[in-house]
Structure formats: C-alpha cells, structure tokens
Structure 1
Amino acid sequence: MVDESRHSTVFRYGDALAANRRRAGLRAQLEQGRAFRLRRGVYAATSNQVDRAAAAVLKVSGAVVSHETAAQWWGISQLSQPGEEVRVTRPRRGSGRAHYPGLEVHSAALPGAHVTSYCGMPVTTPARTVIDLARGAEFRAGVCAADSALRRNLCTREDLWSVVADCAGWPGVRRAREVVGFADRRAANPLESISRVAFQEYGLPTPQLQVEMPSFDVVDFLWEQFGVVGEADGLGKYVDSEVLRREKLRQERLEQDGFAVFRWTWREVFRRPDAVAYRGEQVLRRRGWSR
C-alpha cells in the first residue's frame, strides 16, 4: 500500500483555494489527467508518470500498477509506444475496465505471487505483466514483450507458464499460452521478435537465432540446412558510409562462403510482414526448400 503522507503531490481542496487556485483550474487539471481526486476534498497532482501511478494507486483501493505502465517500469519492450495514460489493476473477480482522465483501471484477480514492489509502489511482476499484455494485444506484440522479459532475465519461461495456469479461463489466455510457447530469449530486439512471427505465420521453417559464424560475427537468422542468412536492419543501423561499407563487405564474405543473404527493415516487416516472408520463401525455395 502506498502511504499518501510520503507524497508531496497530495493536497486538500482548501489548500488549493488558499494557494489562489481557482475551481476552474482544478477542474481542468482533473479533466486533463494532471490531477486525481483521491477522495472527497483530497487530490493528488501528477507532474510525471511516477506521480500519476502513485495517485492512481491511492485513488483505487487495492490497485497495483500493471499492463503497459508496468512494462515501462520493468523495461519490457512494447511494439507500440505507450501513451501517457496510467494503467492499474484492482483485485476483483471476473474482468473489465473503467476509464478516468489519464487512468485506465482493469479488474482481475491478483494472486500474491503476481504482485511485487517497485519504486515503493505495488506493481505486477514481470511475468504477470507479460501475460496481461499478451492477453490483450495482437500475437506479435505479446511475443515482443515475452522475448524481451526472457532476454533481460526478468522472469523465466516457467514463471510465465505459472501465471498462465493461474489465469485459466480468463479472456485472451489462449493467445497468451501461444505467446509463451513461441517466446525465445535469443531474439535480440523487437525487430527480430516480429520477424520471427512473420516467418512463423507465413509457414517458413524455423530459423536459428543469433548464430556465431566461423569467419564472421553473429548473424540474426540462419537456415543452416539451406545455407540462407537473414539480416534484420534496424532503424539507424546505417549511420554513415563506413558502416554501410562494412555491412556490404560482410554480406559479400557470406556470399563467397556459399550463403544466400536476404535483408529487410523495421518499416518493411512492421507494415508488410507477408512481403518480407515471401522474399524469404523465394530465397529458401532457390536453395531447395519446399512446403
């Protein structure tokens, strides 16, 4: 539980008037999500996300920071940039959500093993955070979060399976189960995570990830049986001509060693994953793969 006395952002209505704040100004703060009404006559100013989260936990009885807000705190990668809205979960049977200015409140069971403390506030564990995201988002967004949490050693696959078991029968848990089964800590970043999903959904054979080559550094994807290398080029990878030259030489050496190389960018796989997977299919077919 968050102790409101520890937060200087908490103020009383009378204090606001004494400080020459007008009713209209306070009302505007409330409507814009820059302040929350904790209870009659008591408010909390919210100048940053930590303040907003603290105010939300104070406002909603039993609430814990969760979903996208918890993911930001844990450093779990998300496919899309989360907004300013704070997300919390309150312990109730069933499911549902309520909206307030700057705040989204989810309702769901909160077993003790799913809750921990961060910055002095109750927050869902990394494993529960991943499963909450996976239940409510598209498959590739869930994979992005799960790969990230595993890669950063925030939780184990067993932790994720344990939360899935606790959430049996909840909305979206079937998708979350698929996410956990597909997650791979070897994916180095969200670009590689969504690329994996594109290949899987298009029916391509499963590649090896982050493979150290004998005479090169690590390649992103390798279909060793067919001698095919896949390289996911992130935004900003080619920052100058020297970097571009090194990448060109690297690809030439791979091709001289008999590998076929195909590349794609974040923009391509995010917007047209089918087109990227189709290019991969053509390269694999030329190397002897067939469905």
Structure 2
Amino acid sequence: MAARLSRYSELLASGWSRGLVRGQVTQGSLLRLTRGVYGPPAANTDDRLAAIFERLPDGAVAGFHTGAMLHGFGDARSTRCHVIVPAGSVVPQIRGVVAHESVVPVRDPVRIRGLPCAPIARCAVDLARSLRRTEAIAVLDLCLRVTDCHQDVLRDELGRHRGLRGVRQARELIGLADPRAECRQESQLRLLLVDAGLPAPEPQLWVDDGYGIPLYRIDLAYRKRRIGIEYDGQSHLDPQVFHYDRARSNWLAGQGWRMRHFTADDLYRRPTHIITTIHSLLAH
C-alpha cells in the first residue's frame, strides 16, 4: 500500500515491481500525480501541489496566483501552478507549472496546509506588478478584505522590489486599493472611473433612514453629490433580488439620490458609456 505521496523509487525500494506500479495505476488504485510521484486515487489539490514540490529544488515556495489562492485571495485566474524558486536554481520542466526565478529573495516563507508559500504581501505585490491593471486592483482589494494584510505592509514589501518591472503600477494601485469592495467588478468599475480622471467613488456606502439607522447600501457612491453607482451581475436577475433593487432605487430616488446601474456589457464592452454617464452627473 502506497503512502499518501510516494516517489517511484520509494515504491520500488519497498518491494513493488514496475509491473505492479503500472497495474495499480491502470486499475485506478494508484494515481500518477506528476512524473515520478504517485498518490491515492482520491488525491486532492493539496496532494497534487505537494507532489509538484517533490520535484522542485530546495527553497521553492508557492507564489503569485497559487500563493494568493492558498492565502484566500486567489482572484486572478490561472490554471497553472506558480512557484518561486531561488535564483540560479535548476528547475525541471513540469507540465502546468510556471517557475518564477526569484530576483528578490522570499522573506519569511510560511506553510499553509503543509505547503511552503510566500507571505501574503509578497504574493500580492508580485501580482500587482505582473497582472493587468484591472486584474491587479481586484486582487489587491480582495487581499485587504479577507486577510490581515494592510497597505503599509504592502508598501514595505514593494520597497524591496525597487527597479523591477511593474513597480510603478503596483505602487499606484496599492494606494487605490480598498477593502470595502465586495467583488472584482466593483473594483474594476472604481478603477475605470479613476483612470478616466474622475474622483474615486466610495465603496459600499450605507444610507440611513434619517434617524441614523443604516437602511440601504450602495456599491459605489459620491456621498456629497448623492450619486450612486450599482453593478448588476447575474444575481440581480433573480425575481426577489430584482424587486428588492426596485424598492431600494425608488426609496433612494425619493431621498435625492441619482442612481445609475451598469452591467458586465457596460464594463467590458462599452466602458466609455459609464465614464460619460458619471462625468455628466458630476458636471451637473
């Protein structure tokens, strides 16, 4: 019986024959996780990652997209495993693995579910430097919202990356990041307005009932101008959500709020429409 993870050489040394290994894999009793590393048929994502680390050089840690996923803010989409390896390491070609050679050494790596991982700030800064702006701001907002990391910690980490590609973008986006954003589209919508030269709207603003009791919350708002911006995703098509949205919009309109609703089509296919609409409201 194989251990949770076993190298091919370990199986042979324990008395397994090559034919037995092949037979167990064919029968589904043993799973080939990566070249030379086997595990049980019920292997999970952590097992697969652990198998990959069996083949990586000493000092390798999960980072970038994979590190963010392990820390709980893996908003950036990637089907591959991203690892950071020490400079000058010899890394085997492993299908589905992206190895980033570390120009800046990883400081104080941590272990998450038994896997070596770069710290939260390192993963966030690496992604903020390397992703497109619209993806990077969503990652930073989520990082601040779901972890105990703060902007000062991100800035301190960014200072160690001076001179590397993308540092200027990361510095700007860290300053714009806001833990109150509740989804990637809200983050991207806020960045769209800022990049267009408009003031940054306030995320998730509560509007009270006039007696100090919070009643309705607006995705993005210009408080003093009473301009509200809503991102309507798929959930807003639900009849109950639709009726709630209608009641909220009517009440806010009665309180002097000018509400505008945008969808994914607006955000990703005609962003100029959003910019001109909000610019017009702010100008008048």
Question: TM-score per shorter chain, which class?
Answer: 0.7 to 0.9
Percent of aligned positions with the same letter in both sequences? 25
What CA distance in whole angstroms lies between the structure 1 residues aligned with 2:177 and 2:17?
Answer: 50
What CA distance in whole angstroms lies between the structure 1 residues aligned with 2:224 and 2:88?
Answer: 50
Q: Alpha carbon RMSD of aligned pairs, Å?
A: 2.9
Query: 1:55 — aligned with what?
Result: 51
CA 1:112 to 1:248, structure 2 compared with 1: closer, same or farther past 3 Å?
same
Instruction: Output one character per residue of 1:119-166: Cα deviation in whole Å (capped at 9) or x when no partner.
Output: 111101111111111111111211111111111133111111111011
Query: 1:91 — aligned with what?
Result: 86
CA 1:16 to 1:60, structure 2 compared with 1: closer, same or farther past 3 Å?
farther
Query: 2:258 — aligned with what?
Result: 260
Q: Give the C-alpha shift of residue 177 in structure 1.
A: 1.3
Query: 2:212 — aligned with what?
Result: none
TM-score by length of 2: 0.83
CA 1:111 to 1:153, structure 2 compared with 1: closer, same or farther past 3 Å?
same
Query: 1:66 — aligned with what?
Result: 63
Aligned residues of 2:204 and 2:220 also touching (Cα < 8 A): yes
Aligned residues of 2:219 and 2:231 also touching (Cα < 8 A): yes
Aligned residues of 1:235 and 1:266 also touching (Cα < 8 A): no
What CA distance in whole angstroms lies between the structure 2 residues aligned with 1:57 and 1:110?
Answer: 20
What CA distance in whole angstroms lies between the structure 2 residues aligned with 1:16 and 1:72?
Answer: 38
What CA distance in whole angstroms lies between the structure 1 residues aligned with 2:33 and 2:74?
Answer: 28
Instruction: Output one character per residue of 1:59-78: Cα deviation in whole Å (capped at 9) or x when no partner.
Output: 11121011111122222142
Query: 1:156 — aligned with what?
Result: 150
Q: Structure 2 residue aligned with 1:108, among 82, 102, 106?
A: 102
What CA distance in whole angstroms lies between the structure 1 residues aligned with 2:180 and 2:202?
Answer: 9
Aligned residues of 1:9 and 1:44 also touching (Cα < 8 A): yes
Q: Give the C-alpha shift of residue 88 in structure 1.
A: 0.6
Aligned residues of 1:93 and 1:109 also touching (Cα < 8 A): no
What CA distance in whole angstroms lies between the structure 2 residues aligned with 1:77 and 1:43?
Answer: 26
Equivalent runs, 1:1-291 vs 2, <5 Å: 7-12=4-9, 14=12, 15=16, 17-19=18-20, 21=22, 35-37=33-35, 42-44=36-38, 47-61=43-57, 62-79=59-76, 81-83=77-79, 85-92=80-87, 100-109=94-103, 111=105, 113-215=107-209, 216-240=215-239, 242-285=240-283, 288=284
What CA distance in whole angstroms lies between the structure 1 residues aligned with 2:172 and 2:190?
Answer: 14
Mean Cα deviation higher: 221-230 or 191-200: 221-230
Mean Cα deviation higher: 258-267 or 127-136: 258-267
Q: Give the C-alpha shift of residue 172 in structure 1.
A: 1.8
TM-score by length of 1: 0.81
What CA distance in whole angstroms lies between the structure 2 residues aligned with 1:154 and 1:225?
Answer: 31
Gaps of 5+ in 1: 26-33
Instruction: Output one character per residue of 1:32-57: Cα deviation in whole Å (capped at 9) or x when no partner.
Output: xx6434xxxx4345944212221222
What CA distance in whole angstroms lies between the structure 2 residues aligned with 1:53 and 1:209?
Answer: 36
- The letter of the residue matching 2:50 is A
What CA distance in whole angstroms lies between the structure 2 residues aligned with 1:109 and 1:7?
Answer: 34
Q: Give the C-alpha shift of residue 112 in structure 1.
A: 5.2
- The letter of the residue matching 1:73 is L
What CA distance in whole angstroms lies between the structure 1 residues aligned with 2:147 and 2:109?
Answer: 17
- The letter of the residue matching 1:87 is H
What CA distance in whole angstroms lies between the structure 2 residues aligned with 1:227 and 1:8?
Answer: 59
What CA distance in whole angstroms lies between the structure 1 residues aligned with 2:124 and 2:108?
Answer: 11
- The letter of the residue matching 2:47 is D
What CA distance in whole angstroms lies between the structure 1 residues aligned with 2:180 and 2:56?
Answer: 38
How many correspondences in the alignment? 267
- The letter of the residue matching 2:83 is V
CA 1:271 to 1:132, structure 2 compared with 1: closer, same or farther past 3 Å?
farther
- The letter of the residue matching 1:17 is R
